């Protein structure tokens, strides 16, 4: 710094001399020479990891804002045995915020939900799995919402879900208040210290755990192994579940001590790929806690989120990933 100040001082004196005695052309020459000798400012460039993190966060936000994303969820109505009328008119057991006054009747008997028309019949623009609505049984598998046919009309998108022996109608609206009033997500700054390499220990055979949910139900999920990692000078162990055996993805449900302040109180989710040598052999697994995301229940009270198993409740803070959406 002293040398740089000396150079500036010397050039300034020379420049003043030239301006007084040699004219502007020489002055411009020395100015150009001065700036050529100064070090160029360092370019602000993101690393590939930072770019990947930013792209993942943008994709997460886009998924939430989809017409049928979690921010579109406006209702969860548990079905009662017998007829459950659906529509916007007063007196319906399941009330919609808009749309037809009398849309349909969902009849629950034992473990079967049947779609029946309201008085006057189905509306022609009311679709079931993209086809005009007709009387039919609606498929609903326990904790497997992907197989449920979607009932759509206008901005509404609905489907029947099953949680153990209970059935409910999940209601989504592409013009929901949460989408219209979306105010952005909050994140911790990306920190590579919270991207760790874990040791993968497979379970043979896979064990099964019962995951409790926020709505008081529980369901079984397979646990193929455990990921052991070091952080803050200590070793910790997390167990993922395997949601879909056909998809190479592990699902970690966890909580840390930031849940009492800056992150969602119930839990956060982390999805990863498979370990380096597959599920059934010892290997390594990348746990990037910068990709911790809120569960759907952090955005809407109409979701049925799983809670972390006891072993996935870490006694340390993980100030990384997504923060609370609601204060």
What's the confidence (pLDDT) of residue 3? Answer: 38
What's the confidence (pLDDT) of residue 46? Answer: 78
Residue 68 has pLDDT above 80, yes or no: yes
- Domains contained in the chain, CATH given: 70-180 (2.60.200.20), 192-312 (no CATH)
Helix (H, G, I), strand (E, B) or coil at 69: coil
Residue 49 has pLDDT above 80, yes or no: yes
What are 5-24's pLDDT values in tens digits? Answer: 443 344 444 333 333 334 44
Kindly state the greatest CA–CA separation across the chain. 103
- C-beta of residue 179 within 8 angstroms of C-beta of residue 68: no
Side-chain-side CA neighbours of 167 within 13 Å: the count stands at 22
What are 149-165's pLDDT values in tens digits? Answer: 999 999 999 999 999 89
- The tokens describing 165, both together, are 């022996």
How far is the C-alpha of 249 from the C-alpha of 292, rounded, in Å? 15
135 vs 164, residue with greater confidence = 135
Mean pLDDT score of the chain, rounded to an integer? 89
- Name the phi and psi angles at 88, rounded to 5: -90, -10
pTM (2 d.p.)? 0.82
């Amino acid at each position: 710094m002293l040398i740089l100040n000396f150079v500036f001082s010397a050039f300034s004196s020379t420049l003043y001399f030239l301006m007084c005695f040699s004219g502007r052309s020489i002055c411009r020459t020395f100015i150009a020479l001065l700036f050529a000798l100064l070090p160029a400012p360092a370019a602000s460039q993101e690393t590939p990891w930072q770019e990947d993190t930013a792209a993942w966060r943008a994709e997460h936000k886009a998924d939430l804002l989809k017409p049928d994303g979690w921010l579109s969820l406006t209702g969860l109505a548990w079905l009662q045995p017998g007829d459950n009328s659906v529509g916007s008119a007063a007196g319906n057991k399941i009330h919609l915020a808009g749309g037809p006054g009398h849309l349909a009747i969902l009849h629950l008997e034992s473990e079967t939900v049947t779609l029946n028309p309201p008085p006057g019949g189905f509306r022609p623009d009311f679709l079931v799995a993209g086809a005009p609505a007709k009387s039919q049984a609606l498929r609903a598998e326990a904790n497997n919402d992907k197989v449920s046919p979607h009932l759509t009309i206008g901005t509404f998108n609905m489907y029947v879900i099953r949680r153990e022996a209970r059935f409910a109608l999940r209601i989504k609206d592409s013009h929901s208040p949460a989408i219209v009033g979306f105010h952005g997500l909050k994140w911790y700054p990306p920190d590579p210290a919270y991207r760790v390499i874990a040791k993968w220990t497979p379970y043979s055979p896979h064990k099964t755990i019962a995951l409790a949910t926020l709505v008081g139900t529980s369901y079984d999920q397979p646990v193929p192994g455990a990921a052991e990692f070091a952080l803050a000078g200590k070793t910790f162990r997390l167990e993922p579940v395997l949601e879909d055996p056909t998809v190479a993805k592990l699902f970690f449900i966890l909580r840390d001590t930031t849940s009492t302040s800056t992150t969602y109180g119930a839990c956060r989710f982390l999805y990863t790929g498979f370990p380096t040598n597959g599920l059934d052999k010892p290997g390594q697994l990348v746990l990037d806690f910068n990709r911790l995301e809120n569960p759907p229940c952090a955005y809407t009270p109409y979701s049925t989120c799983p809670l972390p198993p006891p072993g996935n409740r870490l006694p340390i803070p993980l100030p990384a990933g997504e923060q609370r959406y609601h204060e």
